[in-house]
Amino acid sequence: MTRPAPPLDLEVVRLHAIDRLAALMESQTRSRAFASNLSGLVRQVLSELLSQLRALAVHSEPQDLLGAIEPMIATCERLETTLSMLLVERQRQWQRNGAHAQETMLDFNRTLLELSKTLIEKDLFERQSKVLERIILSHEHVAQWKAFVQEILADFHAIFPFNFFYIAFAEEHGLSMYLYYLGEYSQATRAEARSALTRKMLTALDLPPDVLLEFEEFSIPVPRPPKQLDDIRMITVAVPEHTPKLAGLLGVAYVGSDELTPQEESVVRSILSVMVMVVGSSKLLSRTLAELEYYAMHDPLTGLYNRRQFNNVLEYEFGRSERHGHEFALLMLDLDDFKDINDTYGHQVGDEALRGVAEILRQHTRKGDIAARLGGDEFAVLLMETGLSGALAAAQQLGRILRERGFQSDSGKTFHLTVSIGVATYPKDARNEVDIMAGADTAMYRAKGLGKDATCAMDTEGPAPAQSRISRDYAERLREALQQNRIVPYFHSIVDCHSGAVFAYETLARMVEPSGEVVAASQFIETIEKYGMARDLDRIIIRAALQALRQRLGGGTVPPRLFLNLSAQEIQGRGILQYAEETCAELGVPPQSVVFEILERDAIGDMANMRRFLASLREKGFAFALDDFGSGYNSFHYLRELKFDYVKIDGAFVRNILSSKVDHALVRNLSRLCQDIGILTVAEYVENADILQALREMGVNYVQGFHIGLPTQSIPAT
């Protein structure tokens, strides 16, 4: 590499000082030469003078002349000796001063060079800081991290004129290489660089030479032209081993003959280390964002579209089909008795079965059709540009393929699944998303009602579910009504069959729509139970009903009984009795005024829990009534096994006692049986005076029905 020059002002000072010192040494050298010549001349003259004086002394006769010459000779000899000593000392001083001057010049030169290096390093680090200041993560940089790298490299190149920057990630499928060329290179040069860098990357990552390679290349314009690739040198920094799901290297490669200074290499490595974190984090975040975006639209278990994305596609398809005059069909699929699979083989096997169903939907629908998992064991398929006949054929094919497909449990046992499918079409059956979903759901429940493992269209004859069951949107409306206290109690009077005095009130749930319309519980109770809102409904109605009874208490009169309906799940020990006991204590309502009632078909479904429930109920002072008594095929058995305070005779028998001898005999015998074992009876559906009179004659204790009174919003005062 070419070393950068020191700052101009320091170089001028250095050269000026060296020039002055060199001139001083040159002057000293000249003075030394002049003094040496002068000393030689003096010594020569003195030597000649001594020779002449000595010769004169030898040939002098007069004694007085000899006496004058000898002192002169002695003086000249001393002068010669002194001059020799002076010349020796002067020579020593000249050598010492010359050495000092040379050493001073060298010291000054070294000092100036070190100072210039310090200033060079300061400039280098300042430029490094400017590069690092640009490395700021943002959502845009994470999403476009490859372009972000190019921005950093342009600044990086100003500090360190490298030729290539590379990123190598060891992926599951092989090695991903991202090559950045600093400058314009020919295809041949690129191929040469790519080959050399790849070999070194494979060695650094300990990968086999035949590993699958994927390249992405980028060119970054720089002001300095590239050199010939005669010697490629590399500086590499590894991705930290603790970085999850990411392994690789980042580095620079340059062409040059000079070695880097320690300072230069330190700066380069520090920038590379920061870029490792930036690139690694950006890649991971980008991958995570991609996964989040995927799972925002897909079901994580099956990989099919989820409900949200399916609704988006369905909305778009309505607009597209309307513009182009196309028809399309919606299939609603619900696996039959899938809960049994989870209960019998475990949820892991159930999940594998759901993935198998999703695979069947992917393999046996056309390209362009959309399959989705709506939740649980419910799926939907959108058939583009398909009418009713094509949709029915596709649904029947899917049902057949699924029926024939065998699934394996962990123990190796094979089991099979069936599906009930509902079909609705646009524009024949619906003009918007809500209606077509509700229509397909209605048809699917018809298929369930026909015995399951069937396909039904909207206009198929057969048992249809109540409106409350056909729309999940309706479930959300019910949830909203619960939150807004728009499901309220109504009170239906129960009177003494003989005296006509009000004995009790049955609490009935009613939903008040925002329009003011009042909806009976029969229209929404199945949806409430299906979507897990029965517990909230029971508590809301219990509190509101007990508050109404509390307002009715007082005046010394005996308070009426309050019959409260419970969902079947409450006998599983979900704390409803504790809640009722605490609410009674809070409001000052005696528990003896409260009678809980559960349908016969629900009560006898779990005899063990029912016994515990009744024991706890009586311990807290509450009474119990069995609703729709007689509808079960073994009702008498339950009278023997369980102790009830009241039984409410199924209204299906009561309403026909005047026209049906069988129903008349059943009601009469049920009443007598209950009298004999000490259970009070309540007859429902009393719709006229003749029925009331017949019930009196049978000995029924209490009656209720539209002939007795209509449900009211509050408990009437006596």
Local structure of residue 236 (DSSP, 8 states)? E
Burial class of residue 126 in the structure, from the number of CB atoms within 10 Å of its CB (0-12 exposed, 13-18 middle, 19+ buried): exposed
Residue 469 has pLDDT above 50, yes or no: no
Of 27-41, 270-284, 561-575, 633-647, the range with the highest mean pLDDT is 561-575
Distance from the Cα of residue 540 to its chain's centroid: 36
* pLDDT tens digits for range 281-309: 666 656 666 666 777 788 889 999 998 88
- DSSP per-residue codes, 468-506: GGS-HHHHHHHHHHHHTT-EEEEEEEEEETTT--EEEEE
- pLDDT per residue as tens digits for the range 302-354: 999 998 889 999 999 999 999 999 999 999 999 988 888 888 888 899 999 99
Highest mean pLDDT among 52-66, 172-186, 590-604: 590-604
The CB density around residue 578, as the number of other CB atoms within 10 Å, is 12
Burial of 626 (0-12, 13-18, 19+ CB in 10 A): buried
The continuous run of DSSP H or E covering 287 comes out as helix 262-297
In angstroms, rounded to a whole number, what is the distance separating the alpha carbons of residues 159 and 124?
7
Neighbours of 41 (CB within 10 A): 10
For the residues 681-691, what does the mean pLDDT come to? Answer: 91
**Most confident range, picked from 11-20, 120-129, 655-664:** 655-664
Phi-psi region of 709 (alpha: psi -120 to 50; beta: other; left: phi over 0): left
Q: Comparing 210 with 13, which gets the higher pLDDT?
A: 210
Per DSSP, 631 falls in state: -
- Amino acid at site 534: A
d(C-alpha 434, C-alpha 311), whole Å: 10
| Sign (positive or negative) of CA dihedral 45, 46, 51, 57 | positive
Q: What is the pLDDT of residue 364?
A: 94
pLDDT classification of 6: cutoffs 50, 70, 90? very low
> Across all residues in the chain, what is the average pLDDT?
79
* Residue 703 half-sphere exposure toward CB, CA atoms < 13 A: 29
pLDDT, residue 297, reads: 85
Residue written as tokens 């509190």?
543
Residue 113 confidence (pLDDT): 64
Structure confidence at residue 175 (pLDDT): 76
Instruction: Establish whether the linkage from the previous residue to 427 is cis, with ω within 30° of 0.
Output: yes
> What CA–CA distances, in Å, run from 259 to 234, 361, 384?
12, 64, 67
Considering 51-65, 147-161, 401-415, 553-567, the range whose residues carry the highest mean pLDDT is: 401-415
CATH number assigned to the domain covering 139-296? 3.30.450
Q: What is the mean pLDDT of residues 469-490?
A: 80
Asked whether residue 127 carries a pLDDT value surpassing 70, the answer given is: no
Cα 237 from Cα 245, distance rounded (Å) = 18
Q: Please report, for the chain, how many H helices and E strands are present, in that order.
A: 21, 21
Looking at residue 531, its pLDDT comes to 72
519-to-458, 512, 516, 525, 707 alpha-carbon distances in Å: 24, 6, 10, 11, 21
> What φ, ψ does residue 159 adopt, rounded to 5°?
-85, -45
Task: Look at residue 117 in the predicted model and tell me its pLDDT.
Answer: 55
Q: Has residue 248 got a pLDDT over 80?
A: no
Q: Is 70 exceeded by the pLDDT of residue 153?
A: yes
The more confidently predicted of residues 183 and 683 is 683
- In angstroms, rounded to a whole number, what is the distance separating the alpha carbons of residues 422 and 392? 9
Across 462-471, average pLDDT:
44
Range from 7-11, 192-196, 465-469 carrying the lowest mean pLDDT: 465-469
Cβ-Cβ contacts under 8 Å for 351 (sequence gap 6 or more):
301
Q: Taking Cα atoms as reference points, which of 686, 596, 700, 578 lies closest to residue 644?
A: 596
Lowest model confidence (mean pLDDT) among 9-18, 249-258, 348-357, 568-577: 249-258
CATH number 3.20.20.450 is the correct assignment for the domain at 474-703: yes
Residue with more model confidence, 427 or 211: 427
Smallest Cα–Cα separation from 376: which of 357, 394, 363? 357
What share of the chain in percent tops pLDDT 70? 70
Strand partners, 383: 329
Nearest one of 316, 294, 322 to 382, comparing CA atoms: 316
What's the order of all strands across the beta sheet hosting 175-182? Answer: 213-220, 175-182, 164-170, 248-255, 232-238
Architecture of the structural domain at 307-465 = 2-Layer Sandwich (3.30)
**Per-residue pLDDT averaged across 19-23, rounded?**
72
- Contact indicator for 685, 667 with CB cutoff of 8 Å: no
What local confidence, expressed as pLDDT, does residue 468 receive? 35
Q: Does the pLDDT at position 489 exceed 80?
A: yes
- The values of phi and psi at residue 419, to 5°, are -140, 140
Q: Going along 256-346, which residue ranges are E strands?
A: 328-335
At residue 329, the pLDDT reads 95
Weakest-pLDDT range from 162-166, 427-431, 472-476, 654-658: 472-476
Q: Which residue has the higher pLDDT, 76 or 511?
A: 511
Q: Where are the domains of the chain?
A: 8-129, 139-296, 307-465, 474-703
Residue 126: predicted pLDDT: 60
Q: Which residue has the higher pLDDT, 644 or 587?
A: 587
Please tell me whether the overall predicted TM-score, pTM, comes out greater than 0.95 for this model: no
pLDDT value, residue 470 = 43
Q: What is the pLDDT confidence band of residue 546, given thresholds at 50, 70 and 90?
A: very high
Tokens of 571: 């006998």
Distance CA 306, CA 482 (A): 27
At 172-228, the pLDDT tens digits run: 667 777 788 888 888 888 888 888 878 877 777 777 888 888 888 888 887 765 556
361 pLDDT higher than 90: yes
How many C-beta atoms surround the C-beta of residue 434 within 10 A?
A: 14
Coarse DSSP helix, strand, coil percentages of the chain, rounded to the nearest 5 percent: 55, 20, 25
User: What average pLDDT does the segment 525-554 reach?
Assistant: 85
Comparing CA positions, the residue from 89, 102, 79 lying closest to residue 29 is 102
